[in-house]
């Protein structure tokens, strides 16, 4: 009785491999078969070629259960991917914001340079008028000293 329990435990452990099994614990590659029993006629299953009705230490697993596990695992993976995509989108948006910052700084600097150029030409104009005024004053002083 205890040997039956241990073999069924062993088979349970083998059946607990998630998804569609590829290898038995004995190292043999598992194959897919179609059940020919009346109870499960046409039902697909994976099993180790070394297994038998009596030797239950080798892998046996119904394919429909394996496929359901594959779908469940895929859903979990899909959820993880959705989280990854939303985090990636956040990173892209942050990157785009960082890329825009230097552009706005360049625009600010260009505006400042344009303002400086404007002020410089204004100063040059004032200097020219001061120079003209000074020359005019100099001429008046010269004429005053010459003709007075």
| Site residues for Zn ion per CB under 5 A | 24, 26, 28, 48, 50, 58
Of 31 and 129, CB closest to Zn ion: 31
Whose Cβ is closer to Zn ion: residue 27's or residue 102's? 27
CB of 18 to Zn ion, least distance (A): 18
Closest distance of CB 9 from Zn ion, Å: 16
Q: Which is nearer to Zn ion, 26 or 141 (CB)?
A: 26
Cα–Cα dist 65/17, whole Å? 11
Q: Which tokens hold the place of 42?
A: 């046409």
CA distance 48 to 76: 28
CB of 47 to Zn ion, least distance (A): 8
- Phi-psi map region of 77: left, alpha, beta (phi>0 left; psi -120 to 50 alpha): alpha
């Amino acid at each position: 009785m205890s040997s039956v329990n241990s073999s069924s435990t062993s088979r349970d452990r083998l059946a607990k491999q998630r998804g569609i099994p590829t290898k038995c614990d004995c190292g043999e590659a598992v194959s897919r078969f179609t059940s020919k029993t009346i109870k499960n006629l046409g039902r697909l299953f994976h099993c180790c070629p070394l297994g038998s009705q009596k030797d239950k230490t080798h892998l046996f697993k119904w394919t429909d259960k394996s496929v359901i596990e594959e779908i469940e695992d895929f859903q979990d993976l899909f959820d993880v991917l959705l989280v990854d995509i939303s985090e990636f989108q956040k990173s892209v948006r942050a990157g785009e914001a960082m890329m825009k910052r230097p552009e706005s700084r360049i625009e600010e600097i260009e505006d400042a340079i344009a303002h400086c150029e404007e002020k410089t030409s204004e100063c040059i104009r004032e200097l020219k008028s001061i120079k003209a005024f000074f020359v005019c004053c100099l001429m008046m002083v010269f004429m005053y000293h010459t003709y007075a």
